[in-house]
Amino acid sequence: MTLIECASAIAAGSLSALDATNAALARIESADVHLNAMVHVDAAGARAQATAVDEAVAAGQPIGPLAGVPITIKDLIAVGGQPLTAGSNMLAGYVAPRDASVIARLRAAGAVLLGKTSLDEFAMGSTNETAATGPVRNPWGLDRVPGGSSGGSAAAVAAGYGYGSLGTDTGGSVRLPAAFCGVVGLKPTYGRVSRSGVVAYASSLDQVGPMAATVRDTARLFSVIAGPCAADATSRSEPIGDYEAACELPVAGLRVGLVHSWLAGLSPEVHRAVMTTYDALLAAGATGAAIELPHAHLAVPAYYLIAMSEASANLARYDGVRYGHRAELHSSDTLDTLYARSRAEGFGPEVQRRIVMGTWALSSGYYDAYYDRACRVRRLVHDDLQTALSACDVILGPTAPSAAWPLGAHTHDPIAAYQMDIYTTAANLAGLPAMSVPVGLGDEGLPLAVQLIAGSFKETTLFQVGAAVEQRQERLSGPAALQAAIAGGQ
């Protein structure tokens, strides 16, 4: 069943929301010992929400577009009354006092919140290996990373822990794990979705994004969370599109841009996946356009300088006094030694590395050479994409250079890991919407994906083209590796 089918069956009274929730909880129970994707499960809360939906349906009361649909939430987003750790020991034991704006919207739409999913610490990573609770495994290959930083959310959707999830995407963290786990992931236009109640990583880049098994399911989730929010000063009030209707529009006449420089450096199967998708869109009546992004190779260095600089400022609040883990107080302590020990104990190595580099890039004498220059490169990347999007309606490319890589492959080489974000970071730097759509399995039985990028607030175009791409595929379901593990075969 898809998310939309589940919502329809519950609304029609042919499926009880409690049964749907119990099935999702049972799946978590059997599968998560293998995946480690959940950091908190709120079984009692989820059952109570589902029962309330069943009562509303029975009483003929109006219900929302997600009524009774069980979903999971990345543990970077506040769900009132539930733990909020950001994947870090720094926030161990912290319970969110209120819902993030996106969570309030989900609740108003009737969604059932199953619990919180694992992530790279403070959303810093591409593999979900920096999570304080340990790595998450990819349901399609348990020795593979699920992608990050929203790896728990992607694995949860692929494994059938409910029908969708919310992740966050600062430089690819919704799209990369979506690609690796064979699900759909959308990074909305900057400002389209509220960031209020979301733990900040790099505020000029962060966006909450929906993940689900199909493009239409993703459209349903997005319709609920998109829109202006008085509690987020960067939120925008452009009109919301009809995202589900966009999935039904033909692609004939649309101009699809292919970035030739993005085709070098791909694994042969990802290269094939992009070209086959391009040919299929042209066969469906779209027209092709060759696109150049002359500064695309600078997106990763500019992104990491800006993201680390903003992170160093955003994470300064976790000092053990105002927020976060406090080290045991020694009689010889000064305020500075207490700060230093609290932060050394609370933050893991990747977060510490980024705070140090970001602080350095912002410091007097280095600011002009690094942070300021990165901001100017950001403008060049933005202008390249705007020029490209005046010659086409949507840019087609890869999400990642290869299928999911083995756990531990880049642990000792952070620069190599950062390079994996080469195709995703440009959309964040430019504030543009982008979607990862699965396109079948590769040679090793691991999911492959393509990425679509459109103009500001043109998410409708992404749904239109994404649905056309998806239509050609058999739907991926039931990851065999996970099934074998559950059956005791591994």
- List, by residue number, the catalytic residues: 74, 149, 173
| Interface segment toward ligand GLN; rule CB under 6 A; list 164-172, 223-231, 315-323, 340-348 | 164-172
Q: Which contiguous run of DSSP H or E holds residue 71?
A: strand 70-74
Interaction of residue 399 with ligand GLN, rule CB under 6 A: no
Among 123, 154, 183, 388, binds ligand GLN (CB under 6 A): 123
405 binds ligand GLN (CB under 6 A): no
169 binds ligand GLN (CB under 6 A): yes
Q: Closest CB to ligand GLN among 307 and 450? A: 307
Helix, strand or coil, per DSSP, at residue 297: helix
Bond into 149 cis (ω within 30) = yes
d(CA 271, CA 438): 14
Q: In whole angstroms, how large is the CA radius of gyration of the chain? A: 21
The yes or no reply on residue 404 touching ligand GLN (CB under 6 A) is no
Residue 128 DSSP code: S
- Nearest residue (CB) to ligand GLN, 423 versus 457: 423
Q: Is residue 370 within 8 Å of 305, Cβ to Cβ? A: yes
Question: Which of 163, 201, 405, 463 is in the footprint of ligand GLN by CB under 6 A?
Answer: 201
Cβ closest to ligand GLN, residue 307 vs residue 407: 307
Tokens of 130: 């920096």
Task: Check residue 253 and give left, alpha or beta (phi > 0: left; psi -120 to 50: alpha).
Answer: left
Does 126 engage in binding with ligand GLN (CB under 6 A)? yes
Q: Which helix (H) or strand (E) holds 38?
A: strand 38-41
Piece of 53-61, 122-130, 292-300, 399-407 that binds ligand GLN (CB under 6 A): 122-130
Query: Taking Cα atoms as reference points, which of 446, 436, 409 lies closest to residue 177?
Result: 436
To ligand GLN, the closest distance from the beta carbon of 89 in angstroms equals 18
Q: Which two tokens stand for residue 256?
A: 């699809």
Q: Which two tokens stand for residue 391?
A: 């010659």
Q: Which whole-number Å values give the CA distances from 331 to 211, 337, 368, 484, in the listed order?
A: 49, 11, 41, 55
Q: 16, 88, 133, 170: which one contacts ligand GLN (CB under 6 A)?
A: 170
The nearer residue to ligand GLN, 41 or 351, going by C-beta atoms, is 351
Nearer to ligand GLN by Cβ, of 34 and 195: the residue is 195
Closest distance between ligand GLN and the C-beta of residue 125, in Å? 5
Rounded Cα–Cα distance for residues 30 and 117 (Å): 16
Per-residue tokens: 440: 């079948």
- Of 13-21, 123-131, 381-389, 399-407, the window that binds ligand GLN (rule: CB under 6 A) is 123-131
Q: How far is the CB of 152 from ligand GLN (least distance, A)?
A: 13
Which phi and psi angles does 434 have, rounded to 5°?
-150, 145
Residues 6+ apart with CB under 8 A from 411: 129
Q: Cβ of residue 235: shortest distance to ligand GLN, in angstroms?
A: 19
Note whether 171 binds ligand GLN by CB under 6 A. yes
Whole-angstrom distance, CA of residue 418 vs CA of residue 100: 29
Encode 152-217 in three state secondary structure. HHHHHHHHCCCCEEEEEECCCCCHHHHHHHCCEEEECCCCCECCCCECCCCCCCCEEEEEECCHHH
Determine contact, residues 28/38, Cβ cutoff 8 Å. Answer: yes
Q: Which is nearer to ligand GLN, 307 or 435 (CB)?
A: 307
Least gap, CB of 451 to ligand GLN (angstroms): 14
Does the footprint of ligand GLN cover residue 125 (CB under 6 A)?
Answer: yes
d(C-alpha 287, C-alpha 290), whole Å: 10
Strands 164-169 vs 70-74: parallel, antiparallel or unpaired: parallel
* Interface with ligand GLN (CB under 6 A), residue from 147, 172, 188, 197: 172
Q: Mark the segment that binds ligand GLN (CB under 6 A) among 41-49, 104-112, 166-174, 256-264.
A: 166-174
Provide the minimum distance between the beta carbon of 6 and ligand GLN in the complex, in angstroms, as a whole number.
28
Q: Provide the phi-psi class of 104: left if phi over 0, else alpha when psi is between -120 and 50, else beta.
A: alpha
Smaller CB separation from ligand GLN, 64 or 172: 172
Contact between 138 and ligand GLN per CB under 6 A: no
CB of 302 to ligand GLN, least distance (A): 12
Compare residues 172 and 210 and give the one whose CB is closer to ligand GLN: 172
* Least distance in angstroms from the C-beta of 353 to ligand GLN: 11
- Residue 209 is a binding residue for ligand GLN (CB under 6 A): no
Q: In this chain, which residue has its C-beta nearest to ligand GLN?
A: 173
| Main-chain dihedrals φ then ψ at residue 152, nearest 5 degrees | -65, -40
The CB-of-126 to ligand GLN minimum distance in angstroms stands at: 4
Q: Which of residues 282-341 bind ligand GLN (CB under 6 A)?
A: 307
Residue 421 within binding range of ligand GLN, rule CB under 6 A: yes
**Binding of residue 173 to ligand GLN (CB under 6 A):** yes
Number of chain positions touching ligand GLN (CB under 6 A): 13
Q: DSSP string of 313-357?
A: HHGGG-SSSSSS--PPPPTT--HHHHHHHHHHHHS-HHHHHHHHH
Give me the residues that bind ligand GLN (CB under 6 A), please.
123-126, 149, 169-173, 201, 307, 421
